[in-house]
Amino acid sequence: MAIKNLADFLEDSKQKDLSPDVFELESSHMLEVKLNGRVWAKAGSMVAYRGGVKFVREGMLAQGLGNLLKKAISGEGTQMMKMEGQGRVYVADAGKKITLLRLAGESIFVNGNDILAYEDGIKSDIKMMRKVAGMVSGGLFNMKLTGSGVVAITSHYEPMTLVVTPDQPVFTDPNATVAWSGNLSPDMVTDISLGTLFGRGSGESVQMKFSGNGWVVVQPYEEIYFQQQG
């Protein structure tokens, strides 16, 4: 790797404004939020800011009593913080790749661990997977995002989208599943014969089954937030 002099390094790595949008990628791993009002971001994701910005961790009852238990169980993976005021905020999540999606009234589901930020025009709701008897973890809890605005999701490395059709259901490793279309309701299924094939031979036999018409996004990496109770 070539050695840079200090002036070149400062110029090449300097924050740049290339877009008037609220969300702008400074790199594939760093998101700039041009704050003028309110934006939601993953708790603990702020790495720097300037201006008059107030940060408030989302209260357990912020979205109603119905989510109290779900928030308590799902843990940090779905905790968001409210950023209010005027300024610039820079957020990131463990160096993961950031993808910006503009919703125009659509709904998507995102794994709680893979949500980085979303604009105030997006409504969020924590959802619990069906058929979860005997299994607990944040990986079973996902966030449904609906409305108009931009959503920032994260993945380890480049994500891949698989099309789901009625005659071709898709099975995924829960620890590698990032997001899916809002019309799908995946089931948790087990197949002991696949126990040494899913999860890098770890014996994990739990999969997510997507049926119907839609899509699912996976990443080439297994995050450690899903566990099976044995």
**3-class secondary structure, 21:** coil
What is the distance between the alpha carbons of residues 125 and 138, in angstroms, rounded to a whole number? 15
Supply the pLDDT for residue 159.
96
Q: Is the pLDDT at 230 greater than 50, yes or no? A: no
What the chain holds in terms of domains, given with CATH numbers, is: 20-218 (3.60.160.10)
- 185 vs 153 pLDDT, higher one: 153
The rounded percent of the chain whose pLDDT value lies above 70 is 77
What is the Cα–Cα distance from 66 to 87, expressed in whole angstroms?
33
Could you tell me if 23 and 32 are in contact, meaning their C-beta atoms sit under 8 angstroms apart?
A: yes
Amino acid, res. 167:
D
Q: pLDDT tens for residues 25-52?
A: 999 999 999 999 999 999 999 999 999 9
When the pLDDT of each residue in the chain is averaged and rounded to a whole number, the result is: 83
Structure tokens at 170: 């898709």
Distance CA 169, CA 207 (A): 12
For 199-220, the pLDDT digits (tens) are 554 445 788 999 999 999 999 9
| pLDDT tens digits along 128-156 | 765 544 444 444 678 999 999 999 999 99
- Residue 138: helix, strand or coil by DSSP? helix
**Which residue in 132, 7, 33 sits closest to 87, CA to CA?**
33
> Model pTM?
0.83
